[in-house]
Amino acid sequence: MAISKGSTAAVIGSGVGGLAAAIRLQAQGIQTTLFEKMERPGGRGHSFELDGFRFDAGPTVITAPGCIEDLYTLCGKRMEDYVKIRSLTPFYRLRWEDGGVFDYDADPKSLKQQMDDFGPGEWEGYQRFLAYAEEVYEQGYVDLSHVSFSSFWSMMKVAPDLLRLRATTPIYQTVSKFVRSERLRQILSFNTLLIGGNPFDVSSIYSLIHPLEKKFGVHSAEGGMGSLVDGLWRLYQDIGGKVRLGAEVDRINVEGGAVSGLALANGETYKVNTVVSNCDMIETYGRLLKHLPDAKRLANRWGKKHFSMSLFVYYFGTDKMFPGLSHHNILFGHRYRELLKDIFHRGVIPDDFSLYLYAPSVNDPTMAPEGGGSFYVLSPVAHMGKNNVDWDQFGPVYRDKIINYLEKHYMPGLRSSIKVDKMFTPKDFESSYNSHLGSAFSLEPRLTQSAYFRLQNRDKDFEGLYFVGASTHPGAGLPGVIDSAKATTDLIVAPEGQSRPFWKDSLTQAPVLT
């Protein structure tokens, strides 16, 4: 049931999805209060400082910045007054252990030159792949990502299109139909790992990432991703939104099947009939609603689904910079398919790895003291439901292996240049964000866990309970969680079936960084 202007709402969790939902509700006249257990906003998108080095904890790649700008526009504000977004080129630098390098961006001349090196016909194959991906983009992103799927029939209406677009085929398999070189197949399929999906399992729907990047670019925020979150945090408060940091919600009260309020871990209570949970569904059903038998059943049901992998993240600040690095670096190991099988299926921690190395200091001097660099390196690892690694013991061992590897292949002299550092293991994902099994991206983005089959934006069992963020439709990643806020708040404030148009095609011109 839609609620009207002047009503109140609560959002639990200040992840980017929670922030976007709070902004949308507040901007539409619903007095909103945001409760966050941590002492700082942003969830996985928070940032922190160590001795003058600034670190972004999680998301670093901004795609579709128009959906962020829309939040400002909705509030009658200008994004550039809050955060400066800059487009990057290359989008990613992909590197292999034997010295191979590929700079991926939207420049056809440079792409053709590099793809020709992979063999005859690869550039043409890539063109055909892009044409296919553009169709998927129109169908899967523009039309579907920001609307909710409240009934099976709402999904069946689009099923023929999804089948025609090979939504049931894993993206690596689809890519392989267009190009032959293993390296090019890796280049065109690795992106799903950035939203928690194994390219050998994930639907080809995610090929839409390529047109999305080509159309809107890949961006960074000046001062790091922390500036993006700070901007949204300020925006929300500037329009009258209320915030509570260090306020862990312990229980959602329900009376007669409808939400009636919240109880905080410190014993405080708060009356409210509309609650948007930005926590994962196991935290929501299994803890916040654990006093209700129906919720226990739901927690058990969702607990059996496939959760995305976890991550081992190592943040480090150095007193020097390293040649050959770009803002975003993907460092492929010698195995791809088998490595991902170890992580997603076998649950073992392999001896080799493929890494993502974030190096914002390449073009943002504000991230580190003069001459130094702020970095993080991320290694996808199995979530804690798949193995029993003791991360307190194994974390430092794994960190040392990664430092040795980076030093050998990409960052000579790394170890002695490290001035500050911090590790973040699957165990930290669980304890810091209340994330089930320490999963980094919630439910894996498989077709059988997407759209209607994903957690619904509006709960069916408890009136007044809604979800936003990576757990719900459309899924993880910044554009995903921001779109989920649109899908969810439309269910709260718009009459049934109506959705306000929101997507705009262009971002205010951003300077390009190389």
Ligand X SMILES: Cc1cc2nc3c(=O)[nH]c(=O)nc-3n(C[C@H](O)[C@H](O)[C@H](O)COP(=O)(O)OP(=O)(O)OC[C@H]3O[C@@H](n4cnc5c(N)ncnc54)[C@H](O)[C@@H]3O)c2cc1C
Site string (273-302) toward ligand X, x via CB under 6 A: -----xx---x-------------------
Distance CA 316, CA 325 (A): 15
Question: Using CB under 6 A, which of 35, 206, 322, 467 touches ligand X?
Answer: 35
Residue 15 vs 286, nearer CB to ligand X: 15
Question: Using CB under 6 A, which of 28, 32, 58, 437 touches ligand X?
Answer: 58
Question: Using CB under 6 A, which of 24, 44, 383, 446 touches ligand X?
Answer: 44
Residue 59 in contact with ligand X, rule: CB under 6 A: yes
Alpha carbon 168 to its chain's center: 22
Question: Which residues, numbered 352-411, are part of the site for ligand X (CB under 6 A)?
Answer: 378
* Cβ atoms 319, 419 nearer than 8 A: yes
H or E element in which residue 314 lies: strand 310-318
Question: Using CB under 6 A, which of 9, 10, 13, 197 touches ligand X?
Answer: 13
> How many residues sit in the footprint of ligand X (CB under 6 A)?
37
Residue 18 in contact with ligand X, rule: CB under 6 A: yes
- Half-sphere exposure at residue 365, Cβ-oriented, CA atoms within 13 angstroms: 2
Query: By three-state DSSP, how is residue 135 classified?
Result: helix
Question: Using CB under 6 A, which of 136, 381, 402, 478 touches ligand X?
Answer: 478
Question: Using CB under 6 A, which of 243, 298, 481, 491 touches ligand X?
Answer: 481
Cβ 147 to ligand X shortest distance, Å: 18
Among 217, 198, 219, smallest CA distance to 209 is for: 217
H or E element in which residue 116 lies: helix 108-116
User: To the nearest 10°, the Cα dihedral for 59, 61, 64, 69?
Assistant: 60
Of 54-62, 79-87, 153-161, 402-410: span binding ligand X (CB under 6 A): 54-62
Residue 311 in contact with ligand X, rule: CB under 6 A: yes
Distance CA 89, CA 76 (A): 31
Of 55-63, 73-81, 125-133, 204-212: span binding ligand X (CB under 6 A): 55-63
Question: Using CB under 6 A, which of 222, 238, 248, 319 touches ligand X?
Answer: 248
392 phi and psi angles, rounded to 5 deg: -65, -40
Of 95-103, 232-240, 295-303, 477-485: span binding ligand X (CB under 6 A): 477-485
Cβ 118 to ligand X shortest distance, Å: 26
Site string (415-444) toward ligand X, x via CB under 6 A: ------------------xx-----xx---
Residue 159 vs 264, nearer CB to ligand X: 264
Residue 38 in contact with ligand X, rule: CB under 6 A: yes
Q: Which residues contact 338 (CB under 8 A, 6 or more apart)?
A: none
Distance CA 437, CA 31 (A): 34
**What percent of the residues of the chain are helix, what percent strand, and what percent coil, each to the nearest 5?**
40, 20, 40
Helical axes 171-178 vs 122-136, angle rounded to 10°: 140
Provide the edge-to-edge strand list for the sheet that holds 8-12.
242-244, 31-35, 8-12, 275-277, 465-467
Query: By three-state DSSP, how is residue 68 classified?
Result: helix
Site string (176-215) toward ligand X, x via CB under 6 A: ------------------x---------------------
Cβ 424 to ligand X shortest distance, Å: 8
* Cβ atoms 284, 277 nearer than 8 A: yes
Cβ 471 to ligand X shortest distance, Å: 7
* Residues within the interface to ligand X (CB under 6 A): 12-18, 35-38, 43-45, 58-61, 194, 248-249, 278-279, 283, 311, 313, 378, 433-434, 440-441, 469-470, 476-478, 481
